[in-house]
């Protein structure tokens, strides 16, 4: 037996067809929905919340197509149950742009033709966004290592690596320019 947030005991085996109500902060907006206790976060995001940019590929955490940010960290949404996301912040590829303005990373992907069929692109963008928050000056080798957790059958990865390195360099240059202007 497990104890729920409200103090009621839950049985280990859930009743077939039982629904749980959960609320997440999806791309900065509080969203609620119902799901079965066994429903994957990837399916909940797509089917219940309508954020279809998150793709489902392998359902084993290998391909990376379902990568989202959970509380600011890149995570495979096919390896997490929706009920585990209750009360947490979930960011998807739809949240990278602001209104109709693409993020610098999305623009670089366009410029370098870092996508072809597009199936893997959302997950790769989410991993790259997370990575660039943590590593400001990555080498080509480091970017390729980070991308090793994704399967892309179309691009050969080279244009993706170029896009990520370009964004990292632009962000560093912008930071340096701001430091100089404040000096």
The tens digit of pLDDT for each residue in 3-42 reads 455 544 344 435 667 899 999 999 999 999 999 999 999 9
Nearest to 150 by CA among 161, 140, 139: 161
pTM of the model: 0.86
- CATH superfamily entry for domain 104-182: [2Fe-2S]-binding domain (1.10.150.120)
Domain extent listing, the chain: 2-92, 104-182
The tens digit of pLDDT for each residue in 73-82 reads 999 999 999 9
Q: What's the rounded Cα separation, in Å, for the pair 67 and 109? A: 17
Q: What's the rounded Cα separation, in Å, for the pair 161 and 128? A: 10
- Span 158-173, mean pLDDT? 96
pLDDT at 67: 98
- CATH superfamily entry for domain 2-92: Beta-grasp domain (3.10.20.30)
pLDDT at 2 over 80: no
Mean pLDDT (the chain) is 90
- Span 45-73, mean pLDDT? 95
Question: Which residues, at least 6 apart from 23, have a Cβ–Cβ distance to it below 8 Å?
Answer: 30, 31, 32, 86, 87
Look at strands 73-76 and 9-10 and give their pairing.
unpaired
Comparing 85 with 62, which gets the higher pLDDT? 85
pLDDT at 174: 86
Q: Quick one: CA torsion of 169, 109, 159, 161, rounded to 10 degrees?
A: 40
Residue 59: burial class (beta carbons within 10 Å; 0-12, 13-18, 19+): middle
């Amino acid at each position: 037996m497990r104890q729920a947030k409200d103090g009621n005991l839950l049985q280990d085996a859930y009743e077939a067809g039982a629904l749980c109500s959960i609320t997440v902060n999806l791309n900065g907006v509080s969203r609620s929905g119902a799901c079965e206790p066994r429903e994957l976060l990837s399916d909940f995001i797509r089917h219940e919340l309508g954020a279809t940019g998150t793709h489902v590929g392998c359902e084993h955490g290998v391909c990376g197509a379902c990568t989202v940010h959970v509380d600011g960290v890149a995570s495979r949404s096919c390896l997490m149950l929706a009920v585990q996301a209750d009360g947490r912040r979930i960011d998807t590829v739809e949240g990278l742009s602001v209104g109709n303005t693409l993020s610098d990373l999305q623009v670089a992907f366009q410029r370098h033709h870092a996508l072809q069929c597009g199936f893997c692109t959302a997950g790769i963008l989410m991993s790259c966004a997370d990575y660039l928050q943590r590593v400001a000056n990555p080498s080509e080798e480091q970017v390729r290592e980070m991308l090793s957790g994704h399967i892309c059958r179309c691009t050969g990865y080279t244009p993706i690596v170029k896009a990520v390195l370009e964004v990292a360099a632009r962000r560093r240059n912008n930071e340096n320019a701001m430091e100089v202007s404040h000096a």
